[in-house]
Amino acid sequence: MSTRIGIVGMPNAGKSSLFNALTKAGAEAANYPFTTIEPNVAVVPVRDERLEQVAATVGASEIVWDTIDFHDIAGLVAGAHKGEGLGNRFLANIRETDAIVHVVRAHGDENVVHPEGRVDPRADVDTIETELIMADLEQAERRVERVARQARSGDRSAVAEEGFLRAAIEALGQGRPARGVPVPEDAPHAARDLGALTTKPVLFVANVDEGSEEVPAEIAEHAALQGARAVAVSSRIESELAELDEEDAGAMREELGVSESGLQRVVREAFALLDLIAFFTAGEGKPAQSWHLRKGLTAWHAAGQIHSDIQKGFVRAEVIGWRELLDAGGYAAARERGTLRLEGRDYVMADGDVINVKFTP
């Protein structure tokens, strides 16, 4: 399943511009708050040069990239959790995502209206974080009653989940994200079932003035304190560049003094949040495909990414590092060299592994 990321921020922060740049999908970017009324989903391929080389080596028919889905939602204002602006509705749309991109306005263009009439990135971050915390608090309070009823019957996982929810309610009530609350072993799905926003990893995207590439110090510090990452882009420029062909875009970047692609940076950093490794499947005359898996998971989990039937019938897997496959020049030669290994279901996948799962249908 592809990775899902939700974009949050104040109205007019530049979320849809970034989203447009990501997709060229043309979600409406206009200069008035609450332009985005329905959630938009952008599917962005994650390019990986290694797969291109693997595909060429084995003679694959085509390349299929793994994707990230970006979800663009309307801006949040102070009080959104109580239904201010367009309220909580939008937050519900990103409860199922894997991570959050938090767009913060840091450009000084006076033509762009700020909902509070001033440009103060640090204050905006606080506003949004408060809304996320309050929304989670409400969600946790709603859920805890139901779980508490189940817990009274003595169900072990319900008891553990109730403990988690009570601890989360306490943290959130004190204005802290639920991220710091340990998930109990007996209820490993507690955080996911809560759909908590404040347990998700966050990437801050500072939407800066054209030509600048620096994350404002107050955002960088704030991100560092949370162990979060931060990047600077100009959403508007990126969305304009996305309309151009590669050559024109390159020329324009040079003129503006903007390095490579700000967008690539956002995708890469968003990806880095999730602690994923890439693995590949590829065969002669068949599509070469990239996949992603949480670090530390096994060949059996990898099989599950490819297809549930392949996981169910897992027998063993042929595995080789992408570089070794290139060095050998193909599977047959790699088998002769002994670099193509047979692994069992508990083999821990490494970044860049090429895998072929043998399974009984």
Ligand X SMILES: Nc1nc2c(ncn2[C@@H]2O[C@H](COP(=O)(O)OP(=O)(O)OP(=O)(O)O)[C@@H](O)[C@H]2O)c(=O)[nH]1
Which one of the spans 31-39, 107-115, 142-150, 265-273 is the region binding Mg ion (CB under 5 A)?
Answer: 31-39
Kindly tell me which of 80 and 172 has the beta carbon lying closer to ligand X: 80
Residue 324 gets which letter from DSSP? H
CB distance 278 to 66 below 8 Å: yes
Q: Does 305 bind Mg ion (CB under 5 A)?
A: no
Nearer CB in complex with ligand X: 270/357? 270
108 vs 227, beta carbon nearer ligand X? 108
Angle between helices 15-23 and 262-272 (to 10 degrees): 100
Q: Going residue by residue from 4 to 23, which x/- string records binding to Mg ion, judged by CB under 5 A?
A: -----------xx-------
Nearer to ligand X, 10 or 169 (CB): 10
Q: Give dist(CA 202, CA 270) in Å, integer.
A: 8
The minimum distance between CB 80 and ligand X, in angstroms, equals: 11
With 0-12 CB in 10 A as exposed, 13-18 as middle and 19+ as buried, what is 126? middle
Q: How far is the CB of 16 from ligand X (least distance, A)?
A: 3
- CA distance linking residue 171 with residue 91, whole number of Å: 20
Q: How far is the CB of 298 from ligand X (least distance, A)?
A: 40
Taking CB atoms within 8 Å and a gap of at least 24, the contacts of 288-292 are 288/51, 288/54, 288/55, 288/58, 288/60, 288/62, 288/63, 288/64, 289/51, 289/63, 289/64, 289/65, 289/66, 290/46, 290/48, 290/51, 290/64, 290/65, 290/66, 291/66, 292/3, 292/46, 292/66
Minimum distance from CB of 330 to ligand X (Å)?
A: 47
Q: How far apart are CA 12 and CA 26, in angstroms?
A: 16
Please say which residue, 104 or 171, places its beta carbon nearer to Mg ion.
104
Interacting residues toward ligand X by CB under 6 A: 9, 11-17, 29-31, 33-36, 74-75, 107, 109, 112, 207, 234-236
DSSP secondary structure letters along 40-90 = EEEEEE---HHHHHHHHHHT-SEEE--EEEEEE-PPP-TTGGGT-TTTTHH
CB of 112 to ligand X, least distance (A): 4
* Binding site partner of 109, from Mg ion, ligand X, none, Cβ cut-off 5-8 A by kind: ligand X
Minimum CB distance to ligand X, residue 269 (Å): 17
Q: Which residue is nearest to ligand X (CB)?
A: 75
Nearer to ligand X, 87 or 283 (CB): 87
Residue (212 or 356) nearer to ligand X, CB: 212
Please select the residue that binds Mg ion; options are 4, 25, 35, 250, rule is CB under 5 A.
Answer: 35
Residue 287 tokens read as 């599509």
Residue nearest to Mg ion (CB): 16
CB 74 within 8 A of CB 34: yes
Report how many residues bind Mg ion under the rule CB under 5 A: 4
Read off the amino acid at residue 43.
V
Alpha carbons 57 and 22: distance in angstroms, whole number: 30
Closest CA to 233 of 268, 199, 258, 197: 258
- Compute the least distance from the CB of residue 70 to Mg ion, in Å: 12
Q: With beta carbons less than 8 A apart as the criterion, state whether 17 and 234 touch.
A: no
Q: Which amino acid is at 199?
A: T
Residue 3 partner contact from Mg ion, ligand X, none using kind-dependent CB cut-offs of 5 to 8 Å: none
Closer to Mg ion by Cβ: residue 115 or 321: 115
CB of 34 to ligand X, least distance (A): 5
> Quick check: helix, strand or coil at residue 350?
coil
Annotate each residue in 103-132 with x if it binds Mg ion (CB under 5 A) or - if it does not, as one string.
Answer: ------------------------------
Q: Which of 36, 57, 199, 305 binds Mg ion (CB under 5 A)?
A: 36
- The footprint of Mg ion (CB under 5 A) covers 15-16, 35-36
